[in-house]
Structure 1
C-alpha cells in the first residue's frame, strides 16, 4: 500500500506542477525499483521544468537502458502518452546542448503521436529556421496548427519569426493568414500592415506580409502593384527582383518574367546558371514561346557550344516539329552559328551544327547535301588520321575495333573501293570484335554486289552460327531474303524468308512476301547476278521500319511491357545508344492507348534531370515510337528478387528518387505509376525514373480526368484508387509503398481486397518485419503512407531532406 500511496502523491504533485514534490517522491520510488519507467518519466519531466537539464538527460538515458525503444506504438499502448513525455524531454535537452540532429531524430520519432507532445513541432521548427530551412520550419507549424489549433498563438509567433528572417516565404504567409482568419484577428492585423506601409515602412517583412495577404485573398493586381513599386524603389535589391520575376512567372506573366530575367542576366553576366534555370522554368510552361526558346538556344551556344546547343535542340524538338515559327527561328540561329564556325574554319563544329539542322528539319534547305559536301572535304583528312592511328600500334584491340568501325563508315560514305572496305570489315569480323555480326552482314552484301554469291552465303552462314538475339537474327534473314528476291534469286529468298518465319511467323510482311515468290525457283547464273541493278548499302526498305533503320543501327530487342516493346539501338546521327519504345500492334488503332503512349513522351520531354530517363524524340507516324535515353542496368524489381535490400542502400536510393520526383513535381508533372519496375538502376550506381505513360500535367490542360483510375493497384494512393484528383503526394504514397517493399521484401497489402485495405487499413510498421529498419526511417515511410494527402510530407523535397538527415 505504501508504494501505491507514493504513486498517488506523485500523480497529484505532477498535475499541480509541484515539481519539487515530484522529484522527492519519484527518487524514492526509483531507489525502490530502478526500472519503474513511470516514476523515471515523471522525474525527467520535473528535472526539465526545474531547468536541471543535465539530470533530466541522464534520467532519459537510464529509461532507454531499462526500456529500449523498439516499437513506439506498442510503448504508447502499454504506458500511455503521459509516460512517453521523457522522449520530448530528451529532445529538449539535445536542443539545449545544440545537438540539433539528435533532437530532430527524437522529434521525428514522436510524429506518429500527432497532437500529443505538440512541443515537438515548435522546437523542430526553431531548429529548421536556425539552419535557414524556412519551408521546413513552416511545415512543422502546419502540423502544430492542424493538430493543436488552440496553440495558434505559438504558431503565429513562430511564423512571425520566419517572415522576419525570410520575408519571401510564401508558405509562411499563407498559413499566417489562415490562422489569423480562424482566430478573428485578420482584419486588425491587416490594418496594421497597411498603416505601416502607408507610413513608408522600412520593414521589408511588413511589405511582404501585406502583399502576400492581397495575393491570398485574390487581389493579385494590388499585390503586384505593391511588389513592383517596392522593387522600383529598391533597384539594388537583386533578391527582390528575383522574387518578383519568379512571382510573375507563377502568375503566368511570361513576358514580364522574361524581361526581369534578361535584366538580371545583363547585371550578372558572370553568373548565368541561375538565370538559365529560371528561363528553363518559363520554357517548361511555355514551350512554344519563340523568343524564349531562341534566347535559351543562343545562351546554350554562347555558354556550352555545340554540345549544349544539341541538348537544347533535343529539348525543344517535339514542340519545334509542331510549330513552324519556332522551328524557323531555331533554324535561323543554328544557321548563323554554323556559318560563323565555317568562316573560321571550325569544320567539326560546322559538321555538328549541320547534323542538328538536319535533325530539326530533315527536308530543309539542302542540309543533307551540305553535310555530304562537308564530309567529302573532311572525310579524306579524317580517314588519314584514322589510318595513322591504326598503324601506330598504340591502340588496344577494343580501341582499334571502335576506330575501324568509324573508318568503315567513312569508306562507305565516301565511296572508297570495295577492296578497302572489305579489308576493314574482315578485321571487324574477328570473333573478338563486338562488331562481328554487322561486319559479316556487310561483307555478304558487298560480295553479292560483286556477284560472288557463294562467298556472300559463306558469310551469311557464319552470321547464322553466332549466338544473337532472335529479333536481330530475324532482321538479318529478312533483309538478306529481300536482297535475293530483288536480284532474281527467289530460291535463295525463300530460304531466308523461311528462316525468318521460324523465329517469328508474324515478322513484318515476310509471310506475304513468301506467298508472292514464284512457285518454282528460278536460279540465276553468276553472270546474270552480276548484271542485276547494283545493290545499294544500306539495302532499300519497303516497310514502315525503313524510317527507323534510316536513323538507327544495331536494333536489338531488350524488353517488353504491357503496351510496348523496347529495343536498344545506335543513333546514326548523334552516335549514341538509345532505347526505342514501340507501341504494340494490338494498340496501334486504340486511340486511348496511342494517346497514352504519346503522353509519356510529352510528359517527360521537358524533364532534364539525372534521375529521370531523358526523352530524345517521338515518331507519331507508323511505326509509332519514342526514342529515349538507354540505361544500362536493371530495375528495382530485379533487386527485389534477391529479397529485402540493405537499409543503407534503400536510404541512398530513396534520397535520389525523392530528388528526381521533387524536380518533376516542381515542373507540374505527377508520375502516377511509381513502382519498382519503373525505377531503373544505373550500372555503376544511381537510379533513373522511367515510364511517364500515366503522367498528369497539373496545369497543362488536364491529361487525365478526375474519376479515371489508372496505375498499379498495389502502389496506388487512396485518393488515386477513389478516382479523386492526384498530386505529388500521390506519388509520395507510391514511393512509401515501394520503400516498404524494399525494406521488408513485401508490399504493405498484397492480398485480399487491396483497394479497400489501402483506403482503410494502417500498415504494420516495417520494423516489425525487418528489425534492421531504424525507427526514424520507419517513421518516414509511415508518414508517406498516411491515408490523407495532407498528413503526408508537403513535398518530395521535404521527404528527401528527412531521408538525407538519416545518413
Structure 2
C-alpha cells in the first residue's frame, strides 16, 4: 500500500480538519484520479466529494482505491491507515445503495463488521437493505445493533425500524426495539406524539397504530394500548391475525407462554398456512423454560403446511431426539424427508436429495429403498466432484495450497469409492507437499495405507516426517499413540516401541504409553525380532543408501563440502536436491557443525526467495534434502557479462528481499556470491547455501577469529576474523552488484584480502558509463570498509534500490 507520495499530506489534512471540501478537490484534481496510488489522499478526496453530494465522483474514487487494494485486510488497515482513512469503504457502500446495487453494498457493510462499532452506516444501510430484500429478521438485528452500539444515531435506527414496520407490520420484536430506542433517546413522549400524528393522518393504517399502541403498552398504559387495537377495523383475516399476534406479544410479557399461545392459536386460524411471522414467534418461544414439545410439534405442522419441508424436518428431528418413542413425530419426519428428496430430484439438486436420503437411512435403517438411493446419489456426486477437481487441476491455474487440498479431497473420494491404494497414495503425495494446509493429514493417511499394505519401513519414514511438523500437542500425542498401536497390532515391535516412547517422553501420563514402552522393551529383549541382513563391512555407499527412498538420482555438482544430486522422492513424489557431505568431511566435527548449522538456519526461514529445507540426516551418510530449483545459478547466467541497468535493478531487489527477511529473523548468510543465487526459468530468485549462516545474537558455531566465506566477496571484518553481522552480507551484496554491472569483481588479482581491507574499489562508471551516479553511490556505500559506514540494514538498501524507479 502506497501512502503519501507527491502531495503534501499536512496541507490536505489541514483542509480536511477545516472541512474545506472544495479546496481538497481543487488541490487533488490537478491530475486524473487514476494517476494516484496513495490510499490516504484518495480517501480524503472521496470524503470531499461525498460531503458535497457528488456521489458519482465519490464512487469513481472509491472504485479506483478498490483496484489498488482489491481484497483489503480491514483489520490490518485499521492499524496501518487508522479508521480516518478507511471512510471510503462506507462511502462506496452508501453510494452503491443509492444506485440500487444492494448486494454489492451489503457485501461492503458486512466486511466492515471486522472493525467493531466504527462506521455506523454499516448498521443503518445493512438494515435498510435487508428490509428491501424482505429479510426482516436480519434487518431487526442490524437496527438493534445500532441502538446498542451507536447511541448518537438512535434517530436513524428508529427511522429504519419504522421502514421495517411499514413493510412487515407484525414483525416479532420490532415494537420492543422501537420502545427501547425511543426510551434511550430520552424523547419517548416526543416520538409518541409524532406517531400519534401519523396515526391521525392515516386513519385505519396498522403500522402507526401498532407503534402507538405498543409504546403505550411498554409505558404501562395497557388499557390505552388495547383501546387502540380494539378501535382498528382490519380489512381481512390477515390483518385480524396480526392484531392477535400483537396481543400475543403483550400476553407473553404479562402471563408467559400459555397466555401468548392462546392469542397465537387465534392468529393461526386467521393467517395463511405457514405464515412466517407466526412461525418466528413460536420459534422464539422455544427458548423459554416453560415451552413444551407441543410448540415444536405445531411448528413442524405449520412449516409443512406452508411448504417449508426443511424447517419442518429440523423441528421433527429435534422432537424425535427428545421423544424417541413418539411414533407420530417419526412418521411425520419420514414423510417430510421423502418430500425433500422428491423435490430435490425434481430440481436436479442431487446434494440435497442425497442429504435427505442419508437422513432417511439414519432414522429408518430398514428402508432399503432409501439406502439404495442414498448410495446411488453418493456415487454420482463423488463422480461429479472428482471430475470437477480433476478439471481444476488440469487447467493449471490454481495456487499450490488449493491444489494440495484438491488432491487430498480426491484421495478421500477414491478411498470411499474403493479406489486402488496406488491412486490414493499418488494424490496424498501431492497433498503432502511443503506448506500444504493438509500436509499433516495427508502424511497420516499415507502412513495408514502403507501399514495396511505391509510396507512398514515406508510407513515409518512417512511418520517420521509427520512428527517433525509443528503439530498441536494433543494431535502429536494422539497420532503418536495411534501409530504405535497400529505397528504393535502388525507385530512391528521396534517402531511401536519408538512411537510409544515419543509419546511417553512428551507426556509420561498419556494413557498407558509409558507402560507400553516398558512391556515392549522387555519383549524385545526376551525375543528380539528377526534381525535385518547385516550391513556389509566398510563405508556405506551413499547412492545405494539414497536409492531406498529416492530414484532418478543425478549428480549436479561438487563443492568443497560435498556433492549435490537431483532426485525424486518416491514417498512424496517430488523433485528434490540432495546435498551430501563427503566422507572425510563428515568425520570433521567442525564440518559437521557447519552442515547442521546450514540446515537449521535455512529450515527456520520460510520465504519464497529462500530454498526450502525438507529433511536432514546426520548419521552416515550425512545429507540435506532441499527444494530443487529448476534454473541456473546467477554466476552461470552472467559469466562475466554486464547486465543492463534496468534488468540489474529488478534483479537486485529480488535478491535483497529474501535476504532482508533472513536478517529480520537474525540469520546472517556469510557466503553470498553469484553461485549461491539461483534464478528460476520464470525469472524468480532463490537464495541458497546458508552453509556459513549463523543466528545473529547467538554464540553460533563460528566464532571471532575464524575466517569463513569466499575471498572475492568477503568483508574486511570477515577477513580479519572479527565479529560479523548483517552489514557483512551488505558488503558481499555490494561486491556481487559491482560484478553484475561491470562484468568483474572490484578486486580479482594480487593480495585479495589486503585489497578488501585497505583499497577503495574503482568507480563503477569507469567500467560501465550507463551507471547513474545515484546507483553508483548506493553500491559504493555497501562497499565501505567499516560496517558503520554502510547501510544499517538490507531493508534500507532495498528502499534505496526501489527509489531508483
**When the two structures are superposed, what TM-score results if normalisation uses the length of structure 2?**
0.35
Q: Tell me: higher relative CO, structure 1 or 2? Use CA pairs within 8 A at least 6 residues apart.
A: 1
TM-score (norm 1): 0.35
Q: Which has the larger radius of gyration?
A: 2
